[in-house]
Structure 1
Amino acid sequence: MKQIFNKILAILMSFVVLFSTMSFTISEHYCGDYLVDSAVFSKAESCEMEMEMDMSSSTEDCNFEKEDCCKDINKIVEGQNELNIQVVNLDFEQQSFIASFIYSYINLFEGLDKNVVPFKNYSPPLIVKDIQVLDQVFLI
């Protein structure tokens, strides 16, 4: 059970490191005040209004300009760029103290696997005389 818990914890910690260092972009396309499309890791698809605006501006007969109602918003979520890996140099005395502390701490909570009864295979002695009556000791 303990090994399974350690493996699950290691996998979760690796996902934490992965997602904290990952960067991604959220792209949103608005037409007026309404969200038309949003996409993660790619560009959001534009609506048909933008196509019509491009076609009308290509004609040279139109002298008036329409204001573009569509807009694209890109939100960039940047991850952590630098991971600080600290290496601590310990001398032999500190290493031996840490090793003995961990060993004693682990063994502190370790108990017997099963309840050992040393007299399980032996029968009790036979009572020949009543010792309480013999010594005149009575419980009241």
Structure 2
Amino acid sequence: MALIVLLSTVSFTVDSHYCGDTLVDSSLFGHVETCGMEVQQNNAFSSECNISKKDCCSDEQVTIKGQDTLKTSFDKLERGQQLFVAAFVHTYILLFVEPQAELNSYKDYTPPPLVRDIQVLDQTFLI
């Protein structure tokens, strides 16, 4: 259950670098590495990318947002749902309550006096 809550609240971003139509690099935790076309754009002798041509490299960023609010207000629940929650909490709390009065049927009984220790005499000991 905790794993589901963790995964539903985490948001992350995936960065991707495309050179033309091919994916060069993709990263989940950092910046993507480029294909090196930026260096070639500055070079006037390049035939693939030059100043007159449109930039052939592109960066794409996909953000997946997690859930921000997890707490539901008790006032927003319907009447039947409020009664169910109240009854569930009441019965759940009563599961852990121990009985108040303990029956002690031996409170007026005193054990007989110990005349001799039979375990020591017979040398029988529980280990």
Give the TM-score normalised by the residue count of structure 2: 0.51
Measured in 2, the distance between the counterparts of 1:100 and 1:64 equals: 74
Q: Please, which of 31, 34, 48 is the counterpart of residue 46 of structure 1?
A: 34
1:69 is matched with which residue? 56
Distance 1:86 1:52, change over 3 A: same
Measured in 2, the distance between the counterparts of 1:34 and 1:95 equals: 57
- Report how far residue 34 of structure 1 moved: 0.4
Any gaps of 5 or more consecutive residues in structure 2? Answer: 45-49, 76-81, 97-127
- Report how far residue 19 of structure 1 moved: 1.1
- Report how far residue 85 of structure 1 moved: 4.2
Distance 1:56 1:85, change over 3 A: same
Measured in 1, the distance between the counterparts of 2:14 and 2:56 equals: 20
- Runs of 4+ more than 2 Å apart: 63-66, 85-90, 93-103
Measured in 1, the distance between the counterparts of 2:65 and 2:24 equals: 25
Number of aligned residue pairs: give it: 83
Percent identity between the two aligned chains: 39
Any gaps of 5 or more consecutive residues in structure 1? Answer: 1-12, 58-62, 104-140
Between structures 1 and 2, the one with greater helix share: 1
Tell me if structure 2 keeps the 8 A contact 1:25–1:42.
no
Measured in 2, the distance between the counterparts of 1:96 and 1:73 equals: 49
Measured in 1, the distance between the counterparts of 2:14 and 2:58 equals: 14
Distance 1:68 1:96, change over 3 A: closer
Q: Secondary structure at the residue paired with 2:3?
A: helix
- Report how far residue 51 of structure 1 moved: 2.3
Measured in 1, the distance between the counterparts of 2:28 and 2:93 equals: 51
Give the TM-score normalised by the residue count of structure 1: 0.47
Give the counterpart letter for 1:23 in structure 2: S
Distance 1:66 1:14, change over 3 A: same
